[in-house]
Structure 1
Amino acid sequence: MTALRSFRLRRRMGSALALLAAPLLFGCQTLSITPAPKVTSSAELHVFTSGGFNIAFDALAKQYTAETGTRIVTGHGPSMGDTPQAIPARLARHEDADVVILARSALDRLAAEGKVTPGTQVDLGLSKIAVAIKAGAPIPDISTPQALRATLIAAKSVAWSDSASGVYIQTTMLDKLGVADQVRPKGRMIPATPVGEIVASGQAEIGFQQLSELKPVKGIRIIGLLPDSLQKVTAFSGGIVAYSSRQQPARALLDYLSSSKADAVIRESGLEPASRKAKP
Protein backbone atom coordinates (compact mmCIF):
# COMPACT_ATOMS: atom_id res chain seq x y z
CA MET A 1 0.00 0.00 0.00
CA THR A 2 1.40 3.37 -0.96
CA ALA A 3 1.78 6.13 1.57
CA LEU A 4 -0.86 8.20 -0.25
CA ARG A 5 -3.48 5.41 -0.14
CA SER A 6 -2.72 4.77 3.54
CA PHE A 7 -3.23 8.46 4.36
CA ARG A 8 -6.58 8.59 2.51
CA LEU A 9 -7.83 5.43 4.31
CA ARG A 10 -6.92 6.84 7.73
CA ARG A 11 -8.72 10.10 6.89
CA ARG A 12 -11.94 8.28 5.85
CA MET A 13 -11.90 6.15 9.03
CA GLY A 14 -11.44 9.28 11.17
CA SER A 15 -14.41 11.01 9.52
CA ALA A 16 -16.61 7.96 10.11
CA LEU A 17 -15.67 7.78 13.78
CA ALA A 18 -16.44 11.49 14.16
CA LEU A 19 -19.92 10.99 12.68
CA LEU A 20 -20.60 8.10 15.06
CA ALA A 21 -19.44 10.08 18.07
CA ALA A 22 -21.50 13.19 17.29
CA PRO A 23 -24.93 11.80 18.36
CA LEU A 24 -23.44 10.42 21.55
CA LEU A 25 -21.86 13.74 22.35
CA PHE A 26 -25.10 15.61 21.54
CA GLY A 27 -27.08 13.21 23.76
CA CYS A 28 -24.72 13.80 26.65
CA GLN A 29 -25.04 17.54 26.20
CA THR A 30 -28.85 17.28 26.14
CA LEU A 31 -28.88 15.26 29.36
CA SER A 32 -26.63 17.76 31.06
CA ILE A 33 -29.10 20.65 30.58
CA THR A 34 -32.35 18.80 31.45
CA PRO A 35 -33.91 20.61 34.48
CA ALA A 36 -34.36 18.67 37.71
CA PRO A 37 -37.94 17.66 38.59
CA LYS A 38 -39.85 20.11 40.79
CA VAL A 39 -39.82 19.20 44.46
CA THR A 40 -42.62 20.44 46.75
CA SER A 41 -41.31 22.29 49.77
CA SER A 42 -41.90 20.63 53.12
CA ALA A 43 -42.57 24.13 54.54
CA GLU A 44 -46.01 24.22 52.89
CA LEU A 45 -49.55 23.70 54.17
CA HIS A 46 -52.78 23.20 52.25
CA VAL A 47 -55.88 24.71 53.86
CA PHE A 48 -59.57 24.59 52.91
CA THR A 49 -61.65 27.37 54.45
CA SER A 50 -65.35 28.18 54.20
CA GLY A 51 -67.01 31.49 53.41
CA GLY A 52 -67.41 32.90 56.91
CA PHE A 53 -63.68 32.75 57.61
CA ASN A 54 -62.36 33.39 54.08
CA ILE A 55 -61.45 37.06 54.42
CA ALA A 56 -59.82 36.59 57.82
CA PHE A 57 -57.83 33.57 56.70
CA ASP A 58 -56.55 35.10 53.46
CA ALA A 59 -55.03 37.93 55.50
CA LEU A 60 -53.78 35.65 58.30
CA ALA A 61 -52.15 33.26 55.82
CA LYS A 62 -49.99 36.12 54.46
CA GLN A 63 -49.18 37.18 58.01
CA TYR A 64 -48.22 33.62 58.99
CA THR A 65 -46.02 33.15 55.92
CA ALA A 66 -44.22 36.43 56.62
CA GLU A 67 -43.52 35.37 60.22
CA THR A 68 -42.64 31.70 59.71
CA GLY A 69 -41.71 31.21 56.06
CA THR A 70 -44.35 28.48 55.69
CA ARG A 71 -46.20 28.79 52.38
CA ILE A 72 -49.98 28.46 52.60
CA VAL A 73 -51.98 27.05 49.67
CA THR A 74 -55.63 28.03 50.20
CA GLY A 75 -58.79 26.49 48.77
CA HIS A 76 -62.29 27.88 49.40
CA GLY A 77 -65.58 26.03 49.68
CA PRO A 78 -68.79 25.93 51.69
CA SER A 79 -69.01 24.10 55.02
CA MET A 80 -71.79 21.86 53.71
CA GLY A 81 -74.07 21.38 50.74
CA ASP A 82 -74.03 19.31 47.58
CA THR A 83 -71.63 21.32 45.40
CA PRO A 84 -68.29 19.72 44.38
CA GLN A 85 -66.47 22.62 46.05
CA ALA A 86 -67.97 21.86 49.48
CA ILE A 87 -65.23 20.99 51.96
CA PRO A 88 -66.69 17.58 52.94
CA ALA A 89 -66.81 16.62 49.24
CA ARG A 90 -63.19 17.69 48.73
CA LEU A 91 -62.04 15.59 51.67
CA ALA A 92 -64.06 12.64 50.37
CA ARG A 93 -61.97 12.92 47.17
CA HIS A 94 -58.80 13.03 49.29
CA GLU A 95 -57.67 16.33 47.82
CA ASP A 96 -54.35 17.54 49.23
CA ALA A 97 -55.28 19.16 52.56
CA ASP A 98 -53.74 19.61 56.01
CA VAL A 99 -56.20 21.95 57.77
CA VAL A 100 -59.89 22.69 57.29
CA ILE A 101 -61.79 25.69 58.67
CA LEU A 102 -65.58 25.59 58.59
CA ALA A 103 -68.72 25.79 60.71
CA ARG A 104 -68.21 23.86 63.97
CA SER A 105 -71.18 21.55 63.41
CA ALA A 106 -69.78 20.46 60.03
CA LEU A 107 -66.26 20.09 61.46
CA ASP A 108 -67.51 17.83 64.25
CA ARG A 109 -69.28 15.64 61.68
CA LEU A 110 -66.01 15.28 59.75
CA ALA A 111 -64.24 14.28 62.98
CA ALA A 112 -66.94 11.70 63.74
CA GLU A 113 -66.46 10.27 60.24
CA GLY A 114 -62.70 9.98 60.78
CA LYS A 115 -61.81 12.65 58.19
CA VAL A 116 -60.51 15.11 60.80
CA THR A 117 -58.07 14.04 63.53
CA PRO A 118 -60.15 13.79 66.74
CA GLY A 119 -59.27 16.32 69.42
CA THR A 120 -57.71 18.83 67.01
CA GLN A 121 -60.83 20.98 66.65
CA VAL A 122 -60.46 24.58 67.87
CA ASP A 123 -62.92 27.50 67.57
CA LEU A 124 -61.42 30.51 65.80
CA GLY A 125 -64.14 33.08 65.12
CA LEU A 126 -67.76 33.69 66.09
CA SER A 127 -70.08 34.89 63.34
CA LYS A 128 -73.51 36.54 63.31
CA ILE A 129 -76.07 36.66 60.51
CA ALA A 130 -76.64 39.99 58.77
CA VAL A 131 -79.20 41.30 56.28
CA ALA A 132 -78.41 43.02 52.99
CA ILE A 133 -80.26 44.84 50.20
CA LYS A 134 -79.10 46.22 46.87
CA ALA A 135 -77.22 49.51 47.18
CA GLY A 136 -79.63 52.42 46.70
CA ALA A 137 -82.79 50.43 47.41
CA PRO A 138 -85.24 51.61 50.11
CA ILE A 139 -84.12 50.45 53.55
CA PRO A 140 -86.62 48.08 55.21
CA ASP A 141 -87.10 47.79 58.95
CA ILE A 142 -85.51 44.72 60.58
CA SER A 143 -85.02 46.21 64.06
CA THR A 144 -87.46 43.86 65.82
CA PRO A 145 -88.85 40.39 65.10
CA GLN A 146 -92.21 41.97 64.25
CA ALA A 147 -90.58 44.43 61.83
CA LEU A 148 -88.52 41.69 60.18
CA ARG A 149 -91.65 39.57 59.81
CA ALA A 150 -93.46 42.37 57.96
CA THR A 151 -90.40 43.01 55.77
CA LEU A 152 -90.17 39.36 54.73
CA ILE A 153 -93.87 39.18 53.91
CA ALA A 154 -93.60 42.32 51.76
CA ALA A 155 -90.41 41.28 49.93
CA LYS A 156 -90.83 39.96 46.39
CA SER A 157 -87.77 37.67 46.64
CA VAL A 158 -85.46 36.48 49.40
CA ALA A 159 -82.11 34.65 49.35
CA TRP A 160 -80.05 32.77 51.91
CA SER A 161 -76.99 30.53 51.68
CA ASP A 162 -76.84 26.75 51.51
CA SER A 163 -74.44 26.72 54.46
CA ALA A 164 -74.94 27.07 58.23
CA SER A 165 -76.72 30.45 58.27
CA GLY A 166 -79.08 29.56 55.43
CA VAL A 167 -79.99 26.19 56.89
CA TYR A 168 -80.92 27.96 60.14
CA ILE A 169 -83.05 30.57 58.35
CA GLN A 170 -84.90 28.04 56.19
CA THR A 171 -85.51 25.41 58.87
CA THR A 172 -85.80 27.46 62.06
CA MET A 173 -86.07 31.26 61.80
CA LEU A 174 -88.97 31.38 59.33
CA ASP A 175 -90.91 29.03 61.56
CA LYS A 176 -90.16 31.17 64.62
CA LEU A 177 -91.59 34.19 62.80
CA GLY A 178 -94.59 32.23 61.55
CA VAL A 179 -93.92 33.14 57.91
CA ALA A 180 -92.55 29.87 56.52
CA ASP A 181 -95.53 29.29 54.22
CA GLN A 182 -95.35 32.83 52.79
CA VAL A 183 -91.57 33.15 52.44
CA ARG A 184 -90.23 29.72 51.43
CA PRO A 185 -91.97 29.74 48.03
CA LYS A 186 -90.28 33.04 47.09
CA GLY A 187 -86.99 32.21 48.82
CA ARG A 188 -83.85 30.73 47.27
CA MET A 189 -81.08 28.77 48.93
CA ILE A 190 -77.93 29.83 47.08
CA PRO A 191 -75.19 27.20 46.58
CA ALA A 192 -71.51 28.26 46.47
CA THR A 193 -72.12 31.86 45.27
CA PRO A 194 -72.09 34.60 47.95
CA VAL A 195 -75.65 35.72 48.71
CA GLY A 196 -74.51 39.35 48.47
CA GLU A 197 -73.76 38.89 44.77
CA ILE A 198 -77.30 37.62 44.18
CA VAL A 199 -78.68 40.70 45.93
CA ALA A 200 -76.31 43.09 44.12
CA SER A 201 -77.42 41.71 40.74
CA GLY A 202 -81.09 42.21 41.59
CA GLN A 203 -81.95 38.51 41.63
CA ALA A 204 -83.14 38.84 45.26
CA GLU A 205 -84.61 41.84 47.04
CA ILE A 206 -83.21 40.93 50.43
CA GLY A 207 -80.47 38.50 51.47
CA PHE A 208 -79.23 36.79 54.62
CA GLN A 209 -75.71 35.54 55.27
CA GLN A 210 -72.86 35.73 57.76
CA LEU A 211 -71.72 39.34 58.24
CA SER A 212 -68.15 38.35 57.36
CA GLU A 213 -69.35 36.96 54.02
CA LEU A 214 -71.43 40.03 53.12
CA LYS A 215 -68.78 42.63 54.00
CA PRO A 216 -66.53 42.16 50.94
CA VAL A 217 -69.38 42.22 48.39
CA LYS A 218 -69.75 45.40 46.35
CA GLY A 219 -73.11 46.76 45.24
CA ILE A 220 -75.03 45.98 48.43
CA ARG A 221 -75.93 47.73 51.65
CA ILE A 222 -75.73 45.79 54.91
CA ILE A 223 -78.68 47.09 56.91
CA GLY A 224 -77.89 45.30 60.16
CA LEU A 225 -77.77 42.07 62.10
CA LEU A 226 -80.74 39.89 62.90
CA PRO A 227 -82.54 40.90 66.12
CA ASP A 228 -80.93 39.25 69.16
CA SER A 229 -83.88 36.95 69.83
CA LEU A 230 -83.58 35.54 66.29
CA GLN A 231 -79.81 35.63 65.97
CA LYS A 232 -77.73 32.49 65.58
CA VAL A 233 -74.01 32.69 66.38
CA THR A 234 -71.91 30.25 64.37
CA ALA A 235 -68.43 29.21 65.45
CA PHE A 236 -65.97 28.84 62.59
CA SER A 237 -63.45 26.28 63.71
CA GLY A 238 -60.30 24.59 62.46
CA GLY A 239 -59.17 20.97 62.55
CA ILE A 240 -56.35 18.85 61.14
CA VAL A 241 -57.16 16.53 58.23
CA ALA A 242 -56.72 12.91 59.31
CA TYR A 243 -54.86 11.81 56.18
CA SER A 244 -52.43 14.76 56.26
CA SER A 245 -48.76 13.82 56.57
CA ARG A 246 -47.99 17.23 58.12
CA GLN A 247 -49.78 16.95 61.47
CA GLN A 248 -47.28 18.96 63.54
CA PRO A 249 -46.98 21.94 61.15
CA ALA A 250 -50.79 21.92 60.87
CA ARG A 251 -51.05 22.06 64.67
CA ALA A 252 -48.67 25.04 64.73
CA LEU A 253 -50.88 26.91 62.24
CA LEU A 254 -54.04 26.28 64.29
CA ASP A 255 -52.24 27.46 67.44
CA TYR A 256 -51.37 30.69 65.62
CA LEU A 257 -54.91 31.24 64.31
CA SER A 258 -56.36 30.82 67.80
CA SER A 259 -53.79 33.10 69.46
CA SER A 260 -54.03 36.83 70.20
CA LYS A 261 -51.90 37.51 67.09
CA ALA A 262 -54.95 36.77 64.96
CA ASP A 263 -57.49 38.84 66.93
CA ALA A 264 -57.26 42.14 65.03
CA VAL A 265 -57.62 40.50 61.62
CA ILE A 266 -60.55 38.36 62.78
CA ARG A 267 -62.40 41.41 64.15
CA GLU A 268 -61.74 43.42 60.98
CA SER A 269 -63.38 40.66 58.91
CA GLY A 270 -66.65 40.93 60.86
CA LEU A 271 -66.10 38.09 63.34
CA GLU A 272 -65.30 37.96 67.03
CA PRO A 273 -62.24 35.95 68.16
CA ALA A 274 -63.64 32.78 69.69
CA SER A 275 -60.91 32.53 72.32
CA ARG A 276 -61.88 35.90 73.82
CA LYS A 277 -65.57 35.11 74.35
CA ALA A 278 -67.67 32.34 75.81
CA LYS A 279 -68.63 29.71 73.28
CA PRO A 280 -72.16 29.98 71.89
Structure 2
Amino acid sequence: MRTFSLAAGGILAVMMLSSTATAAELRVLAGGAMTAVWAGLKPKFEQTSGHKLDIFFGTTPNLIKEATSGKPFDVGVVPVEVMRDAGARSHFAAGPTLDIARVGLGVAVRAGAPKPNISTPDTLKAALLQAESVASIPESATGYSIARVFERLGITEQMKAKMKAQPTPAEVVAVVAKGEAELALFLMNVLTVPGLDVVGPFPADLQQDVVFTAALGAGTKEAAAAKALVDYLKTPDAISVIKSKGMTPG
Protein backbone atom coordinates (compact mmCIF):
# COMPACT_ATOMS: atom_id res chain seq x y z
CA MET A 1 0.00 0.00 0.00
CA ARG A 2 2.88 2.35 0.90
CA THR A 3 4.55 1.57 -2.43
CA PHE A 4 1.28 2.31 -4.25
CA SER A 5 0.88 5.61 -2.37
CA LEU A 6 4.40 6.68 -3.29
CA ALA A 7 3.81 5.75 -6.91
CA ALA A 8 0.51 7.63 -6.99
CA GLY A 9 2.17 10.62 -5.39
CA GLY A 10 4.90 10.51 -7.99
CA ILE A 11 2.37 10.46 -10.83
CA LEU A 12 0.52 13.43 -9.30
CA ALA A 13 3.76 15.36 -8.96
CA VAL A 14 4.60 14.72 -12.61
CA MET A 15 1.14 15.87 -13.67
CA MET A 16 1.48 19.07 -11.64
CA LEU A 17 4.93 19.79 -13.07
CA SER A 18 3.62 19.11 -16.56
CA SER A 19 0.72 21.52 -16.01
CA THR A 20 3.11 24.19 -14.72
CA ALA A 21 5.44 23.67 -17.66
CA THR A 22 2.65 24.19 -20.18
CA ALA A 23 1.13 27.22 -18.45
CA ALA A 24 1.57 30.42 -20.44
CA GLU A 25 1.30 34.14 -19.79
CA LEU A 26 -0.74 35.65 -22.60
CA ARG A 27 -0.60 39.31 -23.51
CA VAL A 28 -4.05 40.40 -24.64
CA LEU A 29 -5.07 43.60 -26.45
CA ALA A 30 -8.64 44.52 -25.53
CA GLY A 31 -11.15 47.26 -26.17
CA GLY A 32 -11.57 49.50 -23.13
CA ALA A 33 -15.36 49.14 -23.18
CA MET A 34 -14.91 45.46 -22.27
CA THR A 35 -13.05 46.20 -19.02
CA ALA A 36 -15.92 44.99 -16.84
CA VAL A 37 -16.33 41.86 -18.97
CA TRP A 38 -12.67 40.96 -18.59
CA ALA A 39 -12.87 41.54 -14.84
CA GLY A 40 -15.27 38.59 -14.81
CA LEU A 41 -13.59 36.48 -17.48
CA LYS A 42 -9.94 36.77 -16.43
CA PRO A 43 -10.09 34.95 -13.06
CA LYS A 44 -12.35 32.24 -14.46
CA PHE A 45 -10.08 31.52 -17.42
CA GLU A 46 -6.93 31.64 -15.31
CA GLN A 47 -8.37 29.24 -12.76
CA THR A 48 -9.62 26.69 -15.27
CA SER A 49 -6.68 26.84 -17.70
CA GLY A 50 -3.67 27.59 -15.53
CA HIS A 51 -2.65 30.33 -17.98
CA LYS A 52 -2.23 33.96 -16.91
CA LEU A 53 -3.50 37.03 -18.73
CA ASP A 54 -1.80 40.42 -19.04
CA ILE A 55 -4.41 42.70 -20.59
CA PHE A 56 -3.75 46.00 -22.35
CA PHE A 57 -6.95 48.07 -22.60
CA GLY A 58 -7.27 50.87 -25.12
CA THR A 59 -9.35 52.85 -27.56
CA THR A 60 -9.19 52.00 -31.27
CA PRO A 61 -6.26 54.38 -32.02
CA ASN A 62 -4.40 53.15 -28.91
CA LEU A 63 -4.92 49.53 -29.93
CA ILE A 64 -3.74 50.18 -33.49
CA LYS A 65 -0.65 51.90 -32.11
CA GLU A 66 0.02 49.05 -29.69
CA ALA A 67 -0.50 46.33 -32.32
CA THR A 68 1.96 48.01 -34.67
CA SER A 69 4.50 49.01 -32.00
CA GLY A 70 6.56 45.86 -32.30
CA LYS A 71 5.69 44.75 -28.77
CA PRO A 72 4.63 41.10 -28.76
CA PHE A 73 1.05 40.11 -28.04
CA ASP A 74 -0.81 36.83 -28.22
CA VAL A 75 -4.50 37.64 -28.64
CA GLY A 76 -6.60 40.65 -29.58
CA VAL A 77 -10.27 41.12 -28.66
CA VAL A 78 -10.75 44.49 -30.24
CA PRO A 79 -13.29 46.65 -32.07
CA VAL A 80 -13.60 45.56 -35.70
CA GLU A 81 -12.32 49.02 -36.68
CA VAL A 82 -8.86 47.93 -35.49
CA MET A 83 -8.93 45.08 -38.00
CA ARG A 84 -9.87 47.51 -40.79
CA ASP A 85 -6.54 49.26 -40.36
CA ALA A 86 -4.16 47.48 -42.77
CA GLY A 87 -1.10 48.05 -40.61
CA ALA A 88 -2.73 46.64 -37.49
CA ARG A 89 -4.37 43.75 -39.36
CA SER A 90 -0.98 42.57 -40.60
CA HIS A 91 0.05 41.93 -37.00
CA PHE A 92 -2.82 39.51 -36.43
CA ALA A 93 -3.05 35.96 -37.74
CA ALA A 94 -4.43 35.69 -41.26
CA GLY A 95 -7.94 34.39 -41.80
CA PRO A 96 -11.34 35.32 -40.44
CA THR A 97 -11.71 36.82 -37.00
CA LEU A 98 -14.26 35.61 -34.44
CA ASP A 99 -16.90 38.07 -33.18
CA ILE A 100 -17.15 37.86 -29.39
CA ALA A 101 -19.51 40.63 -28.25
CA ARG A 102 -21.44 43.64 -29.44
CA VAL A 103 -23.27 46.54 -27.81
CA GLY A 104 -25.23 49.56 -28.97
CA LEU A 105 -24.98 53.30 -28.33
CA GLY A 106 -26.87 55.07 -25.59
CA VAL A 107 -27.34 58.27 -23.62
CA ALA A 108 -27.05 58.83 -19.87
CA VAL A 109 -27.33 61.74 -17.45
CA ARG A 110 -26.11 62.38 -13.93
CA ALA A 111 -28.09 60.33 -11.39
CA GLY A 112 -31.27 62.23 -10.53
CA ALA A 113 -31.04 64.69 -13.42
CA PRO A 114 -33.98 65.16 -15.82
CA LYS A 115 -34.00 62.72 -18.73
CA PRO A 116 -34.55 64.13 -22.22
CA ASN A 117 -36.76 62.40 -24.76
CA ILE A 118 -34.57 60.48 -27.24
CA SER A 119 -37.16 58.01 -28.52
CA THR A 120 -37.02 59.16 -32.15
CA PRO A 121 -34.32 60.64 -34.39
CA ASP A 122 -35.99 64.06 -34.15
CA THR A 123 -36.20 64.04 -30.36
CA LEU A 124 -32.61 62.77 -30.04
CA LYS A 125 -31.48 65.59 -32.33
CA ALA A 126 -33.37 68.14 -30.23
CA ALA A 127 -31.91 66.74 -26.99
CA LEU A 128 -28.37 66.90 -28.34
CA LEU A 129 -28.80 70.46 -29.60
CA GLN A 130 -30.32 71.58 -26.30
CA ALA A 131 -27.56 70.03 -24.16
CA GLU A 132 -24.83 72.39 -23.01
CA SER A 133 -22.18 69.68 -23.18
CA VAL A 134 -21.72 65.99 -23.98
CA ALA A 135 -18.97 63.57 -22.94
CA SER A 136 -17.63 60.80 -25.15
CA ILE A 137 -14.41 59.52 -26.71
CA PRO A 138 -14.34 60.90 -30.27
CA GLU A 139 -11.16 58.97 -31.12
CA SER A 140 -12.59 55.50 -30.57
CA ALA A 141 -14.77 52.96 -32.34
CA THR A 142 -17.70 54.31 -30.34
CA GLY A 143 -16.80 57.88 -31.19
CA TYR A 144 -16.66 57.05 -34.88
CA SER A 145 -20.13 55.51 -34.68
CA ILE A 146 -21.50 58.54 -32.83
CA ALA A 147 -19.95 60.84 -35.43
CA ARG A 148 -21.87 58.98 -38.14
CA VAL A 149 -25.08 59.57 -36.19
CA PHE A 150 -24.29 63.29 -35.91
CA GLU A 151 -23.72 63.35 -39.66
CA ARG A 152 -27.04 61.65 -40.38
CA LEU A 153 -28.80 64.16 -38.11
CA GLY A 154 -27.01 67.07 -39.77
CA ILE A 155 -25.50 68.38 -36.52
CA THR A 156 -21.80 67.60 -36.90
CA GLU A 157 -20.64 71.23 -36.65
CA GLN A 158 -22.96 72.12 -33.77
CA MET A 159 -21.79 69.15 -31.71
CA LYS A 160 -18.09 70.01 -32.03
CA ALA A 161 -18.50 72.93 -29.63
CA LYS A 162 -20.44 70.81 -27.13
CA MET A 163 -18.09 67.83 -27.05
CA LYS A 164 -16.05 67.21 -23.91
CA ALA A 165 -13.61 64.59 -25.16
CA GLN A 166 -12.42 62.03 -22.61
CA PRO A 167 -9.54 59.53 -22.74
CA THR A 168 -11.28 56.47 -21.30
CA PRO A 169 -14.79 55.07 -20.74
CA ALA A 170 -14.33 55.54 -16.99
CA GLU A 171 -13.70 59.25 -17.53
CA VAL A 172 -16.83 59.58 -19.66
CA VAL A 173 -18.80 58.23 -16.70
CA ALA A 174 -16.94 60.34 -14.14
CA VAL A 175 -17.39 63.77 -15.75
CA VAL A 176 -21.13 63.28 -16.16
CA ALA A 177 -21.55 61.79 -12.67
CA LYS A 178 -19.80 64.89 -11.26
CA GLY A 179 -21.96 67.27 -13.32
CA GLU A 180 -19.07 68.49 -15.46
CA ALA A 181 -20.88 67.41 -18.63
CA GLU A 182 -24.63 67.15 -19.18
CA LEU A 183 -24.92 64.03 -21.32
CA ALA A 184 -22.82 60.90 -21.70
CA LEU A 185 -22.86 59.38 -25.18
CA PHE A 186 -21.30 55.96 -25.19
CA LEU A 187 -21.94 52.22 -25.19
CA MET A 188 -24.91 51.07 -23.14
CA ASN A 189 -22.91 48.64 -21.00
CA VAL A 190 -20.50 51.38 -19.92
CA LEU A 191 -23.33 53.78 -19.01
CA THR A 192 -25.17 51.31 -16.77
CA VAL A 193 -23.27 52.16 -13.59
CA PRO A 194 -23.81 53.95 -10.26
CA GLY A 195 -23.67 57.73 -10.60
CA LEU A 196 -25.51 57.78 -13.92
CA ASP A 197 -29.10 57.27 -15.00
CA VAL A 198 -29.46 55.71 -18.43
CA VAL A 199 -31.83 57.70 -20.63
CA GLY A 200 -31.96 54.90 -23.18
CA PRO A 201 -30.45 53.53 -26.36
CA PHE A 202 -30.24 55.50 -29.57
CA PRO A 203 -33.41 55.16 -31.69
CA ALA A 204 -33.44 51.99 -33.77
CA ASP A 205 -33.14 53.95 -37.03
CA LEU A 206 -29.83 55.40 -35.83
CA GLN A 207 -28.49 52.56 -33.69
CA GLN A 208 -25.07 51.15 -34.50
CA ASP A 209 -23.51 48.25 -32.65
CA VAL A 210 -19.83 48.33 -31.85
CA VAL A 211 -18.53 44.79 -32.43
CA PHE A 212 -15.55 43.27 -30.63
CA THR A 213 -13.75 40.55 -32.56
CA ALA A 214 -10.94 38.14 -31.65
CA ALA A 215 -7.82 36.92 -33.41
CA LEU A 216 -4.44 35.52 -32.47
CA GLY A 217 -1.37 37.70 -32.77
CA ALA A 218 0.62 36.86 -35.88
CA GLY A 219 3.81 36.51 -33.85
CA THR A 220 2.48 34.63 -30.82
CA LYS A 221 4.73 31.93 -29.43
CA GLU A 222 1.86 30.55 -27.34
CA ALA A 223 -0.54 29.61 -30.12
CA ALA A 224 -2.15 26.69 -28.27
CA ALA A 225 -2.83 28.74 -25.13
CA ALA A 226 -3.98 31.73 -27.21
CA LYS A 227 -6.42 29.52 -29.12
CA ALA A 228 -7.65 28.11 -25.82
CA LEU A 229 -8.50 31.65 -24.69
CA VAL A 230 -10.40 32.46 -27.90
CA ASP A 231 -12.27 29.15 -27.66
CA TYR A 232 -13.12 29.92 -24.02
CA LEU A 233 -14.77 33.18 -25.05
CA LYS A 234 -17.45 31.13 -26.85
CA THR A 235 -18.22 28.83 -23.92
CA PRO A 236 -21.50 29.07 -21.96
CA ASP A 237 -19.53 30.29 -18.94
CA ALA A 238 -18.01 33.20 -20.87
CA ILE A 239 -21.27 33.99 -22.64
CA SER A 240 -22.97 34.26 -19.26
CA VAL A 241 -20.39 36.83 -18.11
CA ILE A 242 -20.72 38.83 -21.35
CA LYS A 243 -24.51 38.98 -20.96
CA SER A 244 -24.27 39.92 -17.28
CA LYS A 245 -22.16 42.97 -18.22
CA GLY A 246 -24.74 44.35 -20.64
CA MET A 247 -23.28 43.07 -23.90
CA THR A 248 -24.67 40.70 -26.53
CA PRO A 249 -22.50 37.68 -27.33
CA GLY A 250 -21.32 37.18 -30.92
Normalising by the smaller structure, the TM-score range is 0.7 to 0.9
Q: Residue 59 of structure 1 aligns to which amino acid in structure 2? A: G
- Three-state SS of the structure 1 residue aligned to 2:37 is helix
Aligned equivalents of 1:89, 1:268: Cα separation in 2: 30
What's the CA shift for 1:178? 2.2
- Three-state SS of the structure 2 residue aligned to 1:153 is helix
What's the CA shift for 1:264? 0.9
What is the aligned-residue RMSD (CA, Å)? 2.1
**Contact 1:133–1:199 under 8 Å retained in 2:** yes
Aligned equivalents of 2:86, 2:23: Cα separation in 1: 26
Q: Residue 124 of structure 1 aligns to which amino acid in structure 2? A: I
Q: Residue 138 of structure 1 aligns to which amino acid in structure 2? A: P
Partner of 1:135: 111
Alignment of structure 1 residues 153-192 onto 2, 5 Å = 153-161=129-137, 162-170=139-147, 172-192=148-168
What's the CA shift for 1:125? 0.4
- Three-state SS of the structure 2 residue aligned to 1:118 is coil
What's the CA shift for 1:261? 2.7
Q: Residue 79 of structure 1 aligns to which amino acid in structure 2? A: T
Partner of 1:246: 222
Partner of 1:267: 243
What's the CA shift for 1:246? 0.9
**Contact 1:52–1:236 under 8 Å retained in 2:** no
What's the CA shift for 1:245? 1.0
1:200 aligns with 2:177: yes
- Three-state SS of the structure 1 residue aligned to 2:60 is coil
Query: Among residues 97, 105, 109, which one is paired with 1:121 in the alignment?
Result: 97
Partner of 1:50: 31
Aligned equivalents of 2:175, 2:155: Cα separation in 1: 22
TM-score (norm 2): 0.84
- Three-state SS of the structure 2 residue aligned to 1:136 is coil
How many aligned residue pairs are there? 229
1:213 aligns with 2:190: yes
Identity %: 29
Partner of 2:16: none
For 1:9-63, what per-residue CA distance to the aligned partner results, in whole angstroms no more than 9, with x for missing partners?
xxxxxxxxxxxxxxxxxxxxxxxxxxxxxxx984221212112222112211111
Partner of 2:47: 66
1:79 aligns with 2:60: yes
For 1:216-265, what per-residue CA distance to the aligned partner results, in whole angstroms no more than 9, with x for missing partners?
4x321111111100100121111111122111210111011023331111
Q: Residue 71 of structure 1 aligns to which amino acid in structure 2? A: K
Aligned equivalents of 1:92, 1:175: Cα separation in 2: 30
Unmatched runs of 5 consecutive residues or more in structure 2 = 1-20
Q: Residue 91 of structure 1 aligns to which amino acid in structure 2? A: A
Unmatched runs of 5 consecutive residues or more in structure 1 = 1-39, 81-85, 275-280
Q: Residue 35 of structure 2 aligns to which amino acid in structure 1? A: N
Taking a change above 3 Å as real, the CA distance of residues 196 and 122 of structure 1, as seen in their structure-2 partners, is same
- Three-state SS of the structure 2 residue aligned to 1:131 is strand
Taking a change above 3 Å as real, the CA distance of residues 108 and 167 of structure 1, as seen in their structure-2 partners, is closer
What's the CA shift for 1:148? 0.8
What's the CA shift for 1:111? 7.2
1:229 aligns with 2:210: no
Q: Which runs of 4+ in 1 moved over 3 A?
A: 110-113
Q: Looking at both structures, which has the greater relative contact order when contacts are Cα pairs under 8 Å and sequence separation is at least 6?
A: 2
Q: Residue 28 of structure 2 aligns to which amino acid in structure 1? A: V
What's the CA shift for 1:184? 2.1
- Three-state SS of the structure 1 residue aligned to 2:66 is helix
Partner of 1:102: 78
Q: Residue 129 of structure 2 aligns to which amino acid in structure 1? A: I
- Three-state SS of the structure 2 residue aligned to 1:198 is helix
**Contact 2:176–2:182 under 8 Å retained in 1:** yes
Which one has a bigger Cα radius of gyration?
1
Aligned equivalents of 1:271, 1:258: Cα separation in 2: 14
